[in-house]
Amino acid sequence: MQQPISITAISSISPLGKTSEDIWNNYKNNQHCFTINKGHWVAKISSELKTEINNLKGSNPKYKTLDDSVLYAIYASRQAINNANWDASDNFGINIGSSRGATTLFEHYHKAFLQNHLSETLASPTTTLGNISSWVAHDLQTKGPEISHSITCSTALHAMLNGIAWINSGMCTKFLVGGSEAPLTPFTIAQMQALKIYAKSNCHLESSREVSKHLDSVRPNYYPNQALNNNKTENTMILGEGAAMACLESGEQSNALAKIIGLGYATEILEHNASLSTNAVCFQRSMAMALDQLNPDDIDVIVTHTPGTIKGDQAEINAINTVFCNKTPSLTTNKWKIGHSLGASGLLNIEMAILMLQKQEFISIPYLKVKTPKRIKNILVNAVGFGGNAVSILLSK
């Protein structure tokens, strides 16, 4: 790191809500945000938020053809720059990515193609990856650089790396970074099930009344995604939707929510397209790089990636034990509560870390006994995706 980078605003749309107060209150209760849709566990944004997204979609004729992943990004980006008091004249840069991209539209267009053997006119422009940052830039009317990318589940934290690099290069002083994901579609869920990593619902009810009755019977003491639990006997990953955006500024700003004091990134040689080595070598390297000269004992909390899979969770825990010599900081995650939002998950982890720094209170996991930190000053945030692309971001007050 050439200099600390300030996070002057962070905003999201997720099953936790949209305001920091709602999100914090939701974190502090022990109920998860999952529901069952067509026999599958999923984490959806609320019906109230969905109405706001539909209103956004109807507010401009151009927005009617956009995928939810793009609309979520626009919605969260508007909140972020408003909270940071930015405007278009700042000419800030934008880097927003997604793992799966325009899932709903892509599946719709492909289904129509299989039936009619013709592609609809807007199939290409509304499903291309560059769609996300381009539409956000259009909506915010900024003249800065705009970048979209996909590095699977570490996408949002790679966007943060890119924003920091642009700021440190002197080519920009402000950057909006984030990730957006709307993956609750039949083919996307089927892909996760094909990998045999998706949680089993043990419920094939279709009517909303039956599903609601079933959920009431298992709450609040049943947690279908056992993220970070290394004693689970089956994979329990569940997909969730959402988007999160952060405003980055050079130097230490007086209005900073937190500052980035370290970053790390790494890849590793893989044995399989979706594999992570037993001891997550990529995480060992990314965490060590983020720590730099800082004593590992100075890290108070780690917000883990741990999606809820047996091998993925254990590999990250092994890496943490290696780097911290078995003197691990307090560990936590949000995936037991809101599932895995793929390309958006890393920045939702950052949001969780910032809330803990602000509130000076640890967010625990109800089914695990984890030590409570004596202080909350330095928090390490992890993300990794298919291909072993790990990123670690070190935040401080």
SS3 146: strand
DSSP state letter for 145: -
Domains and their CATH numbers in the chain:
5-248 (3.40.47.10), 259-396 (3.40.47.10)
**pLDDT at position 7, please?**
98
The amino acid at 65: T
Alpha helices in the chain (DSSP H): 20-28, 47-58, 68-84, 103-116, 131-140, 155-169, 186-194, 208-218, 281-291, 310-323, 335-338, 345-359
Does the pTM exceed 0.85? Answer: yes
CB atoms under 10 Å from CB of 205, counted, come to 16
Q: Which two tokens stand for residue 340?
A: 């895995």
Q: Is 123 left (phi over 0), alpha (psi -120 to 50) or beta?
A: alpha
Q: What are the residues whose beta carbons fall under 8 Å from the beta carbon of 388, sequence distance 6 or more?
A: 266, 267, 268, 269, 270, 275, 276, 277, 281, 282
Question: Sign of the CA dihedral 134, 139, 145, 148?
Answer: negative
Give the model confidence (pLDDT) of 221-269 as tens digits: 789 999 999 999 999 999 999 999 999 999 999 999 999 999 999 998 7
Phi, psi of 125 (to 5 degrees): -65, -25
Q: Which two tokens stand for residue 272?
A: 């399989």
Contact 204, 39 (CB under 8 A): yes
**pLDDT at position 60, please?**
96
Contact 98, 159 (CB under 8 A): no
> Is the model's pLDDT at 21 over the cut of 70?
yes
**Percentage of the chain modeled with pLDDT above 90:** 84
Q: What are the residues whose beta carbons fall under 8 Å from the beta carbon of 323, sequence distance 6 or more?
A: 283, 284, 287, 288, 291, 296
204: confidence class by pLDDT, cuts 50, 70, 90: low
The single residue listed with the structure tokens 């030590």 is 371
**Percentage of the chain modeled with pLDDT above 70:** 93
User: Considering only CA atoms, which of 393, 349, 397 is closest in space to residue 376?
Assistant: 397
Give the model confidence (pLDDT) of 318-349 as tens digits: 999 999 997 899 999 999 999 999 999 999 99
Give the model confidence (pLDDT) of 31-45 as tens digits: 999 998 888 999 999
Max alpha carbon distance in the chain (Å)? 63
388: confidence class by pLDDT, cuts 50, 70, 90: confident
SS3 367: coil
210: confidence class by pLDDT, cuts 50, 70, 90: low
Give the model confidence (pLDDT) of 165-198 as tens digits: 999 999 999 999 999 999 999 999 999 999 999 9
Report the range of poorest mean pLDDT among 22-31, 232-241, 274-283, 359-368. 274-283
